[in-house]
Structure 1
């Protein structure tokens, strides 16, 4: 939400000036009137010091779903667009959404189209949404388009949550296992090293190995911080360069078990997006460009980019997909049939339904497979550490007897 500089006089005629945040100039003037300040001038401040931090403007998928579902319900109930947005602006929990919707409402009341008003706030209204809204305004079926958007983002949200939950569980379990192992090596094992040093007997190889490993971990623990910083820097570099991001996504897609889930999720997202855009009568080339930006996987985006170039040459959308390893034959065949019959929206809808179901099943299988594997690995590692301490103690007891 921007800052505004104001100048005017208070209720006693004393000149006052200052800064105030507000979604629009009208909102700032309204706040000043409540404070009995007559503003002669209200001007938006420019510069990075007066801009919101981009990290705090990240779109919340759950809030997006809530907004679209409620807007679709209000429009279908016969409430006008501007009144619907006014109602939602007053009840959204997020201050960012309230301020943005208030600004959108003011623009619409001033004669601006909904799509044009939404395009001013790309942090909350992505290109996919604004283009579908624009198509709905042109076709006179805005309520149906909003309903379609609500269904789309609901399915995308559920798909994203399903994938994240299936991946986060093994990652948390692996992280906890690693923390336990590091604690045993850095804290517990060194306490036994002093005790074993007093014995003259030669220690078993497994004990010598674990003690050496424990000394290394306890002496180099400080490396965890620069390694974590290096990992964050590497992640930022990968996200900033398309070629690096391509190879990162390629490695993830080729990873056993996890790669299959990510591939199915990416195809489901792509197909659902294409289906929604085509069903809303968004022009084909424009729809392909939007899908390329929102698909979320650079390997898939590269093929879609080739498909866009193929369409620009007057060739088939499916030609670049044929033979590419990321697209199963079923997908390319259905896209080819959809092109020939003029039913791409229906074909992509069927592909999305199929792969969303596949993701559900694949994530359940992945959880059931990875949990026992990780637990078994942890049991083996902890067992080796315990054995390295127990074996020499048993030998010492035998010697004493």
Structure 2
């Protein structure tokens, strides 16, 4: 049954928010009337963007954490701060979420518990850091750290995507240019080379190019259909657990880029773990959250095994080293940090160091990849031109 979020007022004029299950808005109106509430706004949770699949941008959430921290630091009461934020929220999804959280807090529910009701808006790290801040009396600091972490992670994703954008564009552009040449330009030479083909004097490279061009021209629909089916099949496979596992394995085993993907995943794990530990979250809970935040199932499985060792009273560094997925330098730093009881600070330092090193390596790799791709595309175009020009020049010499 669909779920609807509502904003209403009771007989005393007090604002009430919540959600109801109903088949239509008319049923919601009837239910509100039976509760003695006057509706102000009713929205389907699905269409409003909250409920099962809310969509709130990362930067919007970072601003939300910072705004709430600023209000609380200015000694604005929590309920009043949530009211101000929900009133000023620019996104309908965030507005309804904040109003629902405010309603739960008014009922006596702790802020992190209310946040946990919206796992697609507030991730485990944000909820647990907020819980630690609430229990430890440093909620403002915890919220600011969540905001800083959120912005940093988004910046890291943006840098990685930006670095790979130009090589991807070159690949697509080169494929498009070559396809146009083969499908539309090469067939025009078919009639010019008919005599040479009959005499058996047509170079093998030219004959192969013309045959490939004719095949694409005649069966382009089959080639295109095969590509669509292959892409659809691969996308469907990657949605399965086995497919996701295979993709994560392929990422860290890919030549050239495998080490980069692995180091970025390790850096995410270290930063989340260090941030949680520094905010007073217990290590077992921190390991559970950080392994999911790593973004790679292969790495997550290794961290899960390591957390089982920690539960048994053993060190964290040993099983991480045995997995073979963590750089030796990282394992050594974790081992020293465990002995000196500075794991929270060292994990963040490891993340900073790994990110700097990885992005330097990525920048160098992209700089080398760009001219290499240009050379490959130039080589393909040169082959096409050469395959067409050689028989033409041979014919001219014969004349």
TM range (shorter): 0.7 to 0.9
Q: 1:24 aligns with which of 18, 26, 40?
A: 18
- Kindly state the Cα deviation for residue 303 of structure 1 after the two structures are TM-superposed: 0.9
1:198–1:103: structure 2 CA closer, same or farther, 3 Å change rule? farther
1:64–1:375: structure 2 CA closer, same or farther, 3 Å change rule? same
Q: Does structure 1 residue 96 correspond to structure 2 residue 93?
A: yes
- Kindly state the Cα deviation for residue 310 of structure 1 after the two structures are TM-superposed: 0.7
- Kindly state the Cα deviation for residue 133 of structure 1 after the two structures are TM-superposed: 0.9
Q: Does structure 1 residue 159 correspond to structure 2 residue 156?
A: yes
Paired residues for 1:329-340 under 5 Å:
329-340=328-339
Aligned twin of 2:209: 210
Aligned twin of 1:366: 365
The answer to whether the Cα contact below 8 Å between 2:48 and 2:92 also exists between their aligned partners in 1 is no
Range with greater deviation from structure 2 (300-309 or 107-116)? 107-116
Structure 2 unaligned blocks of 5 or more: 8-15
- Kindly state the Cα deviation for residue 210 of structure 1 after the two structures are TM-superposed: 0.8
1:313–1:226: structure 2 CA closer, same or farther, 3 Å change rule? same
The answer to whether the Cα contact below 8 Å between 1:271 and 1:348 also exists between their aligned partners in 2 is yes
Aligned twin of 1:342: 341
Aligned twin of 1:383: 382
Aligned twin of 1:17: none
The answer to whether the Cα contact below 8 Å between 1:166 and 1:367 also exists between their aligned partners in 2 is yes
Q: 2:112 aligns with which of 106, 112, 115?
A: 115
- Kindly state the Cα deviation for residue 304 of structure 1 after the two structures are TM-superposed: 0.3
Paired residues for 1:167-206 under 5 Å:
167-197=164-194, 202-206=201-205
Q: 2: distance between equivalents of 1:165 and 1:77?
A: 38
Q: 2: distance between equivalents of 1:361 and 1:174?
A: 22
1:90–1:376: structure 2 CA closer, same or farther, 3 Å change rule? farther
Give the TM-score normalised by the residue count of structure 1.
Answer: 0.84
Aligned twin of 1:3: 4
- Kindly state the Cα deviation for residue 80 of structure 1 after the two structures are TM-superposed: 2.7
Aligned twin of 1:131: 128
Range with greater deviation from structure 2 (109-118 or 58-67)? 58-67
Give the TM-score normalised by the residue count of structure 2.
Answer: 0.84
Per-residue displacement from partner, 1:100-138 (whole Å, max 9, x unpaired)?
Answer: 112212222232211111111111011111111111111
Aligned twin of 2:293: 294
Aligned twin of 1:9: none
- Kindly state the Cα deviation for residue 173 of structure 1 after the two structures are TM-superposed: 1.6
Per-residue displacement from partner, 1:190-213 (whole Å, max 9, x unpaired)?
Answer: 222233236555322221111112
Q: Does structure 1 residue 71 correspond to structure 2 residue 88?
A: no
The answer to whether the Cα contact below 8 Å between 1:310 and 1:320 also exists between their aligned partners in 2 is yes
Q: 1: distance between equivalents of 2:50 and 2:96?
A: 15
Q: 2: distance between equivalents of 1:363 and 1:89?
A: 41
1:72–1:249: structure 2 CA closer, same or farther, 3 Å change rule? same
- Kindly state the Cα deviation for residue 224 of structure 1 after the two structures are TM-superposed: 2.5
- Kindly state the Cα deviation for residue 232 of structure 1 after the two structures are TM-superposed: 3.5
Aligned twin of 2:396: 397
Q: 1: distance between equivalents of 2:308 and 2:122?
A: 27
Aligned twin of 2:268: 269
The answer to whether the Cα contact below 8 Å between 1:136 and 1:145 also exists between their aligned partners in 2 is yes
Count of aligned residue pairs for this structure pair: 375
Range with greater deviation from structure 2 (315-324 or 194-203)? 194-203
Q: 1: distance between equivalents of 2:316 and 2:342?
A: 13
Range with greater deviation from structure 2 (122-131 or 108-117)? 108-117
The answer to whether the Cα contact below 8 Å between 2:56 and 2:94 also exists between their aligned partners in 1 is no
Aligned twin of 1:322: 321
Q: 1: distance between equivalents of 2:304 and 2:378?
A: 47
The answer to whether the Cα contact below 8 Å between 1:190 and 1:215 also exists between their aligned partners in 2 is yes
- Kindly state the Cα deviation for residue 23 of structure 1 after the two structures are TM-superposed: 6.8
Q: CA RMSD in A?
A: 3.2
- Kindly state the Cα deviation for residue 383 of structure 1 after the two structures are TM-superposed: 0.9
- Kindly state the Cα deviation for residue 52 of structure 1 after the two structures are TM-superposed: 6.1
Structure 1 unaligned blocks of 5 or more: 7-21
Q: 1: distance between equivalents of 2:101 and 2:50?
A: 21
- Kindly state the Cα deviation for residue 139 of structure 1 after the two structures are TM-superposed: 0.7
Per-residue displacement from partner, 1:276-301 (whole Å, max 9, x unpaired)?
Answer: 11011111111111112121011211
